[in-house]
Chains A and B, each alone.
Chain A
Amino acid sequence: MKVGLFIPCYINQLYPKVGIATLELLEKLGVEVYYPTGQTCCGQPLGNSGYEENAKGACQVFVENFKEYDYIVGPSGSCIHHIKEHFDILEQTDAVKNVRNNSYELCEFIVKILGKKNLGASFPYKVGLHKSCHGLRGLKLGSCSEKMDAYYSTEEELLKEVKGIELMSLKRKDECCGFGGTFSVFEEAISVKMGKDRIQDHLDNGVEVITGADHSCLMHLDGLLNRNNQPIKVMHIAEILNSSI
C-alpha cells in the first residue's frame, strides 16, 4: 500500500509540527508514506470564495502529484472534502477519479482503512473535541446533531483509546467555529463572535486542550485564545495521537 501524504498549504507554511506528527504517526503504524514535494494546495480558498475557475491549475497540480498513490491521506477534513466534492470542475479522467475516490482524512484512514483504534498514545489532559463541519457533515466522520441517526464519531473512537485522556463533553457538540476560510475576513464580526462562543463552551466545561481534525478551525480559535489570554491550548488530533507524554 503506497500512501501519498498531503500536507495542506497552511499546515506546510504555518504548522509544520502538525505535518510532522501526521507523517510520524503514519510511519509508526507501518504505512509506506511518500511526500510528493511539488504539491501546493487543493484550491479550496478559491472555490469557497467563488473563484473555482481560477483554482483549476491548483487542482491539476494536486492530481499530478498524487495520481499514482493507492491512498492520499491528509490531516485536514475540509481540504479532503474539497478534493472529493469540488474536483468536479476538472475533466473526469481516470487519474482525477482515482484521486477523488482515494483521498482520506487522517482519522478516517486510520479507523476505516487501517482498522486501528488504539495507537499507543498517552496524553493526560482534559481535551475538548472540535468537530469541524466539513469533516463532520461533509465527510461524515461522525453523526451530526441535526440528524436522527445512531451516534458515532471517528475522532472520538481514536481519542478514547489514548491513555490518560479525559474527553470533556460540550453544550453544543458540533456548532461551527466561524472560520469558514475567507469568511473569517469578509464576515469578521460574526466569525470572531462564533469563535468566542465556541471557546466559551470549552472553558465552561473545563477543557485544557482543544483538538480537532482540521487545523484551520484551530488556527482561528488559537488566534482568539492568544489575543484574549485564555488558558486553553489547541493541538491537532495528529499531535495527540502521536504523543507519549
Chain B
Amino acid sequence: MSHSEKAAIFNKNEAKVNWHDKALWFVREKRDTAAHKVKGWEYLRELASGIKANVLSNLDNYLIEFETNAVKNGIKVHWASNAEEHNKIVHSILSENNATKVVKSKSMLTEECHLNPYLESKDIEVIDTDLGERIVQLAKETPSHIVLPAIHKTKEEVDELFQKHLGTKPSNGNPEYLTNEARKHLRNKFLNADAAITGVNFAIAETGGIVVCTNEGNADMGAHLAKVHIACMGIEKIIPKEAHLGVFLRLLARSATGQPITTYSSHFNKPALGTEMHIVIVDNGRTEQLSREDFRSSLHCIRCGACMNTCPIYRRSGGHSYDATIPGPIGSILSPGKDLTKHSSLPFASTLCGSCTNVCPVKINIHEQLYKWRQLIVKDVKQPLIKKTILKIMGKVLARPKLYAIFGKSARWMLTYAPRFMVYSKLNTWGKSRELPKIENGNFDQWYKNRNKNG
C-alpha cells in the first residue's frame, strides 16, 4: 500500500489525527523554545554539518582509528556488512555467553536489522526497555517515531495493553500508575538479564568509546547489571573527537524533545571488571548511500526526529503510513536507497515545504533530496499510466505556446459549461472535498490583448 492510501486510512479518525498533530506540534514548539535559548544555534548547526561532512569524507580512516582505540580499551569490535551478518554476530556473542534473556535499550539499527524476531526464533527473550518501545513491543507493532516510538498510542490504549500483558488494573489511562507498573515489570527484567544490547548515538574515533543518550536510564541499567554489553551502531555514527560532543549533545536533545540535554548521556569506554563489551559496526546499505552524491548527506542524520515533529504530513499521517523503519522526511530520503520500488511513494509524501530542512540540526537538505528522488523514481519504477500520460502531454503542451492557448481555452470552457456531475466525477480527486475555481471572463492573455487594442 502506498503512503497516500495508508494516510487516508489514518485520516478516517479525524479526532485522532488532531490529537497526533497537536502532540507532535507541542514537541516542535518545545524545540523552538529550547533552540532560541542557545546563542549561535544556527552556527552550531553549521558546525555539526561540517563535522559530519568531514566524517563521511574520511570514514574509512575514522572507523579504523575507532576500532584500534576500542580494542586497546578491551572492547571486542565486530564488523557486519548487512543485517543478516549483524544478527548472526549478536546471536553468536549471546550463545558464547549462554545468554537467553536479553534487555535492549533504544536502537533504530536493531529495528532496521529486525534483530528481535531473529533472536526470538533462536529462543532468546528480548525485552525492549525504553517505555515507548516496550509499549509497541507488547502491541506487536513497530515504532511509529524514532524518538517517541509509541506516539500513535493514547494513554487509554496503553492502559488496555498493560491490563492484558502486565496484569494491571484499569486506571482510565493514568500515566503515573501505568509508568510505575512498567517500572516494576522492567526492573525484574533488568535484574535477571544475561546480556544487554544498546544502540550508539556517538562513537568517538580518538577514544574508542561510545555515548548513549536516554531519558530513562535504561541503557545504563541494562549495561551495568548484565555480564555482557553489546552495542550496535551504523558506520555513520562516528565523530572524530570527544570535544565534538560539545556540539552534538547540545543539538540532539533540544532538537528531539526541547530538553537542554537528555537525562542520561552515558559514556561507555571499556568493559567493567568481569564483564564483556562488544561493538558491532554495521554497513547495511550505508556505503551505497555514501556513493550517491546527491544523497550522501542523508548519512549526517543523528536520529533526533525533529523533521518528523515539524512535518505537517507526518503529523497528520502517522509514522506507520510510511511503512519503513525510519518514517517521516528523513526516512523518505533514506528508504528509497534501500528498496526503491517498495518505498517509491515516500518522496511524494511531501509538499516540499522545506520545514524539515530548516529544523535539521545537521543541516540535511531533506526537501531537496526528496525532489531528486522523485526524478529517479519516475524513471526506474513503473508509474500509474494516467499520471504518466497526463504529465508527459502537459510537458509537450507547455513547450508550444499556441497549443497551450488552445488547451487553456478548452479547460476553461469545460469548467464554465460542463454540468457539475461531469466535472465533479470520481475522476476529479481535487473536487472530492474542494470546489474548483470559478471561471472568470476569459484569461489574462485575452484581457491584455483587448486592453492594448482599446488603449
Convert B268-289 into 0s and 1s, putting 1 for each residue whose CB lies closer than 8 angstroms to a CB of A.
0000000000000000000000
Convert B1-41 into 0s and 1s, putting 1 for each residue whose CB lies closer than 8 angstroms to a CB of A.
00110011001001001000100010000001001101001
Stretch of A92-100, A152-160, A203-211, A220-228 on the interface side: A220-228
Q: Which of A57, A145, A176, A184 contacts B395 (CB 8 A)?
A: A57
What is the interface of chain A mostly: helix, strand, loop, or mixed? helix
User: Footprint of A on B, CB under 8 Å?
Assistant: 3-4, 7-8, 11, 14, 17, 21, 25, 32, 35-36, 38, 41-42, 310, 312-313, 316-317, 348-355, 357-359, 371, 374-378, 383, 387, 391-392, 394-401, 404, 408, 411-412, 429-430, 432-437, 439-449
Structural contact, A183 and B401, CB atoms closer than 8 A: no
Structural contact, A193 and B316, CB atoms closer than 8 A: yes
Q: Which of A168-216 contact B (CB under 8 A)?
A: 172, 175-176, 178-195, 197
A4 within 8 A of B: no
Q: Of all chain A residues, which has the CB nearest B18?
A: A197
Structural contact, B398 and A43, CB atoms closer than 8 A: yes
Structural contact, A176 and B437, CB atoms closer than 8 A: no
Q: Say how far B8's CB is from chain A's closest CB, in angstroms.
A: 4
Q: Which of A1-38 contact B (CB under 8 A)?
A: 7, 9, 11-17, 19-20, 23, 35, 37-38
Q: Total number of A-B contacts with CB less than 8 angstroms? A: 210
Structural contact, A12 and B445, CB atoms closer than 8 A: yes
Stretch of A45-53, A104-112, A114-122, A236-244 on the interface side: A45-53
User: Footprint of B on A, CB under 8 Å?
Assistant: 7, 9, 11-17, 19-20, 23, 35, 37-41, 43, 45-58, 60-61, 86, 133-134, 137-138, 144-149, 172, 175-176, 178-195, 197, 219-220, 222-224, 226-227
Q: Which of A35, A176, A195 contacts B353 (CB 8 A)?
A: A176
Task: Check A50/B374 contact, CB under 8 A, given A57-B395, A137-B355, A189-B11.
Answer: yes
Structural contact, A192 and B358, CB atoms closer than 8 A: no
Task: Check A188/B312 contact, CB under 8 A, given A16-B447, A227-B434.
Answer: no
Structural contact, B312 and A175, CB atoms closer than 8 A: yes
Structural contact, A16 and B444, CB atoms closer than 8 A: yes
Structural contact, A188 and B8, CB atoms closer than 8 A: yes
Task: Check A49/B378 contact, CB under 8 A, given A180-B351, A183-B351, A187-B3.
Answer: yes
- Cα(A178)–Cα(B351), bound, Å: 6
Structural contact, A41 and B434, CB atoms closer than 8 A: no
Q: Say how far A91's CB is from chain B's closest CB, in angstroms.
A: 16
- Cα(A220)–Cα(B435), bound, Å: 9
Structural contact, B395 and A39, CB atoms closer than 8 A: no
Q: Which residues of B contact A11 (CB under 8 A)?
A: 444
Q: Which of A133, A178, A227 contacts B354 (CB 8 A)?
A: A133
- Cα(A48)–Cα(B371), bound, Å: 6
- Cα(A62)–Cα(B233), bound, Å: 49
Structural contact, B433 and A190, CB atoms closer than 8 A: no
Structural contact, A222 and B435, CB atoms closer than 8 A: yes
